[in-house]
């Protein structure tokens, strides 16, 4: 079976950190016998290539110097910060649909798997139509497009409804995302999470307990944007430090970094908080291994967006790290309070500080949560589970097309 994945962005080089979980999905699909390919926009005129070993079909939509609508940040964020980029949207859509139609006509895949279908379902539909019905279409939703339309662009709701109901099958990243789709959907929604892109080597790593008198290392990994809630975490560390020696490592980069550094200075935490920036996969493994507590302090941002799932939680749990996260979005699919981790009130530094303090004060409790978290991730979010569920959707779609 040949599957073409339609995505907003694909890594531009081997060490580009964009969508590592999607790269891992294609790698594992290929290992399982599928022929996985990518359909994505060009970036600054970049040609088609085979980064990570997969055929990549990149469509051009503007002069090279202007082809920056995607990749470096989400398209809604870019449009919000620089509305002039909206002038590129029509050419992006027209060029993408034309290129997709050519592929559907000349070399149709068995399945086109559309990620972030608002508006990329247009590309999938063009490919399917040009294939004369030989190509089935799967649309996968990650919550950001749903929240963006509902909170910022309600006039686009008819298009959202169309993207959901025009597909042969739809999937959601979490139960909360599936629930958000219900007002628009007229067919079953398969909940299929993504797996961890950074995995351990099969054995738990890192410290098993907090040594007396030592600082506990708190780790955050992710883009430094509003919905990640890192400012809340910094203020929580300020609450914790009065009675517990802690250090905070912030791994990642993004538009919020200057504001976060200012918050660190405001709270007088310069000696306790360090910014690592983007790191390699090898160094990221080391960050997980060295952490005592992993925290994802997600909030709902000004666009109405929040975590669709929280892949970094899967990664931390695979490394058997105890986790604390906000009770919001798709996070409760992963973190079961007091069973696989601790949940706290979104946007509340005191609630977050209390959860962190509870783990640091109770090393055995923290170890028990970490052990159960690792087991839960392996059984419910392991790649074998993800691949099986995805393959079943593909098989259902191809049967629909054959009939």
Predicted pLDDT of residue 219: 97
Is 158 in the same domain as 252? Answer: no
pLDDT tens-digit profile of 90-147?
A: 999 999 999 999 999 999 999 999 999 999 999 999 999 999 989 999 999 998 888 8
User: What's the CA gap between 159 and 146, in Å, rounded?
Assistant: 11
Spatial CA neighbour of 318 closest among 200, 193, 192 = 200
Predicted pLDDT of residue 210: 57
Is 21 in the same domain as 160? Answer: yes
Assigned domain for 206 exists = no
Assigned domain for 163 exists = yes
Please state the rounded mean pLDDT for residues 369-390: 92
Per-residue pLDDT for 183 more than 70?
yes
Assigned domain for 208 exists = no
Mean pLDDT over all residues of the chain? 90
Locate 208 and state its tokens.
């098993």
Is 182 in the same domain as 261? Answer: no
Per-residue pLDDT for 216 more than 70?
yes
Q: Is the pTM of this model over 0.85?
A: yes
The domain containing residue 336 runs over which residues? Answer: 216-380
Per-residue pLDDT for 218 more than 90?
yes
pLDDT tens-digit profile of 30-52?
A: 999 999 999 999 999 877 666 66
Is 356 in the same domain as 387? Answer: no
Is 93 in the same domain as 61? Answer: yes
Spatial CA neighbour of 371 closest among 333, 325, 317 = 317
Please state the rounded mean pLDDT for residues 63-70: 92
Choice among 197-201, 284-288, 369-373 with the minimum mean pLDDT: 197-201
Give the dihedral sign, CA 22/25/29/30. positive
pLDDT band at 221 (very low <50, low <70, confident <90, very high): very high
Predicted pLDDT of residue 395: 95
Q: Which residues have C-beta within 8 Å of that of residue 300, sequence separation ≥ 6?
A: 227, 306, 328, 329, 346
Choice among 7-11, 128-132, 248-252 with the minimum mean pLDDT: 7-11
């Amino acid at each position: 079976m040949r599957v073409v994945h339609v995505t907003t962005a694909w890594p531009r080089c081997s060490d580009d950190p964009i969508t590592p979980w999607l790269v891992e999905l294609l790698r594992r699909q290929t290992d399982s016998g599928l022929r996985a390919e990518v359909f994505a926009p060009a970036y600054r005129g970049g040609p088609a290539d085979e980064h990570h070993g997969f055929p990549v079909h990149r469509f051009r939509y503007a002069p090279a110097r202007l082809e920056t609508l995607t990749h470096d940040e989400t398209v809604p964020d870019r449009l919000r910060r620089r509305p002039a980029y909206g002038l590129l949207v029509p050419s992006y859509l027209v060029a993408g649909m034309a290129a997709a139609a050519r592929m559907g006509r000349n070399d149709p895949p068995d399945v086109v798997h559309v990620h972030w279908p608002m508006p990329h379902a247009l590309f999938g539909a063009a490919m399917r139509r040009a294939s004369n019905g030989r190509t089935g279409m799967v649309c996968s939703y990650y919550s950001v497009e749903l929240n963006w339309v509902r909170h910022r662009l309600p006039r686009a709701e008819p298009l959202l409804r169309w993207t959901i109901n025009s597909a042969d099958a739809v999937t959601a990243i979490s139960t909360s995302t599936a629930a958000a789709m219900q007002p628009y959907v007229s067919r079953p929604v398969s909940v299929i999470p993504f797996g961890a892109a950074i995995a351990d080597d099969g054995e738990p790593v890192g410290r098993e307990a907090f040594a007396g008198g030592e600082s506990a290392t708190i780790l955050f990994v992710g883009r430094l944007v509003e919905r990640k809630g890192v400012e809340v975490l910094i203020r929580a560390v300020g609450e914790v430090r009065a009675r517990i020696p802690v250090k905070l490592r912030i791994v990642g980069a993004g538009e919020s970094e200057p504001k976060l550094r200012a918050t660190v200075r405001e709270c007088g935490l310069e000696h306790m908080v360090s910014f690592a920036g983007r790191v390699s996969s090898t160094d990221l493994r080391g960050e997980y291994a060295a952490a005592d507590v992993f925290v994802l302090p997600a909030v709902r941002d000004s666009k109405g967006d929040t975590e669709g799932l929280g892949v970094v939680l899967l990664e931390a749990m695979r490394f058997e790290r105890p986790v604390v996260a906000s009770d919001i979005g798709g996070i409760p699919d992963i973190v079961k309070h007091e069973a696989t981790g601790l949940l706290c009130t979104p946007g509340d530094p005191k609630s977050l500080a209390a959860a962190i303090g509870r783990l640091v004060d109770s090393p055995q409790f923290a170890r028990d949560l970490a052990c159960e978290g690792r087991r839960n991730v392996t059984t419910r979010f392991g790649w074998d589970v993800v691949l099986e569920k995805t393959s079943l959707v593909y098989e259902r779609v191809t049967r629909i097309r054959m009939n």
